[in-house]
Amino acid sequence: MTVSLSLDAITAHYGTTKVLEDLSLHVGEGELVSLLGASGCGKTTTLRLVAGFLEPTAGTIMLGDRDLTRLPAHSRDIGLVFQTYALFPHLSVRDNVAFGLKQRGMGTAERHKRADDMIERVGLGHLADRYPANLSGGQRQRVALARALVIEPPLLMFDEPLSNLDAKLRVDMRVEIRRLQQANGTTALYVTHDQEEAFSISDRVAIMNAGRIMQLDTPEVLYSRPANAFVADFVGFENMIPMRVISEAGDAVRAEMEGGATLDFPKDKFTVPAQDFVLATRPEGLEVSTTDWGIPATLGLRTYLGRAYQYQCMTPAGELKANGPLTNPLEPGLHVNLVPQPEQCCLLPAETA
């Protein structure tokens, strides 16, 4: 049974503090959507609302055609994997996994059989009689996963499930989570603060800030075409240069940056969105060049990145980061131009403060 999850105009408070404002989100059937953001952005609150540990002050939560909004947590039928794993320390692996089945009134023999099958599927067949205290972090994570999956929930939710694992295990586990989620075709909501993790396993990612979704799209779009300065900054557009259009001359728009330097944007390569806008690039989107078009800069500290050199550059608009080829290391103090690469730049409307 595959269903979709819909949050409609959700507002939530902790005491008198508003933590979510008018949040709407749709997770399609069998889709995995991540909520990505720094701590305090509202992503965990959203998950706890769906799980039923919190009640929204306004809005509705629908799972398929079931209205979850006022349903107690234990009637929601959602598989939840906790950041702390929340394994019951007094129960063996088998009894932990069988716990949800027991609550559904399943007989001992049947639930142990199903639990054992699931434990086998997550690769812990030999550990069914162990207690959580005697498992490694990765093993606990698998038990938590098995416990959430075995009840065959229409919706799976993950709350920073990998943040307590070391780097190598994190990569293995996220592949495993994605595989199991896709194999079952279960709709899933995944909360994380790790961009790489979110992008690597999600169908779509919602980048959140201050209780709101800033952009919800596929990882590819988020990575290359952020819709606003917040998202751009979040996905690594380290150079943000505020600009203002001063004239249009034929096939180019001329804009001025702070400090008075001007830059022409050919219309066939750039779409200038507004009078005031922001030129956002990653360091690799600014090429160090000796041609005469670009942002005038003086090279500063050079660092070696493996695939390129990175330069701290002093420009009229402040310090910017730019990359240069390994074949031609340049010395600090050199005057150059930084050339924005159209396919690696975004022109974003300036934030209305």
Partner 1 sequence: MNTRTHPLLVAFAVLTFLFLVGPLVIIIGTSLSDTAFLTFPPEGLTLHWYQNIFEISAFRRTIMTSFALAVGGTAISMMIGVPAAYALARYRVELPKFLGNVYVLPILIPEIVLGFSLMKSVAIGAGLPIMTSLLLGHALLVLPYCVRVVGASLNAFDFSIEDAAVSLGCPRWKAFFTIVLPNVKAGIIAGFILAFITSLNDVSVSIFLTGPGVSTLPIQLLAHMEQFFDPTIASVSVLLMFVTVGVMAIVERTLGLTFLTK
Partner 2 sequence: MVPFRSSPRLRAWALSAPAILLVTCFLLLPVFSTLATTFGDPEGPFATYAAYFDSRLRMRVLWRTMEVAVITTVISVIIGFLTAWVVAKTPGRLKSLLIIAAVFPLLTGVVVRSFAWLIILGKNGILNDFLLWIGVITEPLSMLYTEGSVIVAMVYLFVPLMILTLVGVLEGIPQDMTDAAASLGAKPAAAFREVVLPMAVPGLIVGSVLVFTGSFTSYATPQLLGGERQMMMGTFLYQNAMVRFDWVAASTVAAIMVVVTLTTVLLMSRVARKLNPVAG
Would you tell me which residues interact with partner 2 (CB under 8 A)? Answer: 51-53, 72-80, 82, 84, 86-90, 99-100, 102-104, 131-134, 147-148, 151
Residue choice 73, 175, 183, 326 for contact with partner 1 (CB under 8 A): 73
User: Tokens 């396919």 belong to which residue?
Assistant: 343
Supply the minimum distance, in Å, between the C-beta of residue 99 and partner 2: 5
Q: State whether residue 96 is helix, strand or coil.
A: helix
Supply the minimum distance, in Å, between the C-beta of residue 125 and partner 1: 36
Q: Which does 54 bind (CB under 5 to 8 A by kind): partner 1, partner 2, none?
A: partner 1
Handedness of CA 19, 22, 28, 34 (dihedral sign): negative
Nearer to partner 2, 143 or 336 (CB): 143
Nearer to partner 1, 52 or 324 (CB): 52
Q: How far apart are the first and last CA of the chain?
A: 46
Nearer to partner 1, 78 or 201 (CB): 78
Supply the minimum distance, in Å, between the C-beta of residue 56 and partner 2: 17
User: Encoding tokens for residue 119?
Assistant: 């434990």
Nearer to partner 1, 71 or 308 (CB): 71
User: Encoding tokens for residue 94?
Assistant: 């088998």
Q: Is 72 in the site for partner 1 (CB under 8 A)?
A: yes
DSSP-assigned beta bridge partners for residue 288: 338
Cβ–Cβ < 8 Å for 262, 256: yes
Q: Which does 82 bind (CB under 5 to 8 A by kind): partner 2, partner 1, none?
A: partner 2
Nearer to partner 1, 62 or 71 (CB): 71
* Selection from 253, 279, 251, 280 nearest residue 264 by Cα: 253
Task: Label each residue of 87-108 as H, E or C.
Answer: CCCCCCHHHHHHHHHHHCCCCH
Region 39-68 residues binding partner 1, contact defined as CB under 8 A: 52-55
Q: Is 333 in the site for partner 1 (CB under 8 A)?
A: no
Supply the minimum distance, in Å, between the C-beta of residue 315 and partner 2: 49
Q: β-strands 32-36, 204-209: how paired?
A: parallel
Cβ–Cβ < 8 Å for 223, 51: no
Total residues interacting with partner 1, rule: CB under 8 A: 6
Supply the minimum distance, in Å, between the C-beta of residue 11 and partner 1: 17
Buried b (16+ CB within 10 A) or exposed e, 186-217: bbbbbbbbebebbbebbbbbbbbbebbbbbbb
Q: Which does 90 bind (CB under 5 to 8 A by kind): partner 2, partner 1, none?
A: partner 2
* Selection from 28, 6, 34 nearest residue 177 by Cα: 34
Nearer to partner 1, 72 or 89 (CB): 72
316/257 Cα distance (integer angstroms): 8
Nearer to partner 2, 77 or 233 (CB): 77
List the 17-27 sheet strands across, edge first.
17-27, 5-14, 58-63, 66-67
Residue 287, Cα to own-chain centre: how many angstroms?
28
Q: CA–CA distance from 295 to each of 145, 267, 288, 289 (Å)?
A: 51, 18, 10, 10
Supply the minimum distance, in Å, between the C-beta of residue 53 and partner 1: 6
Q: Is 105 in the site for partner 1 (CB under 8 A)?
A: no
Q: Which does 88 bind (CB under 5 to 8 A by kind): partner 1, partner 2, none?
A: partner 2
Supply the minimum distance, in Å, between the C-beta of residue 72 and partner 2: 8
Supply the minimum distance, in Å, between the C-beta of residue 121 and partner 2: 18
Q: Which does 55 bind (CB under 5 to 8 A by kind): partner 2, partner 1, none?
A: partner 1
* Residues within the interface to partner 1 (CB under 8 A): 52-55, 72-73
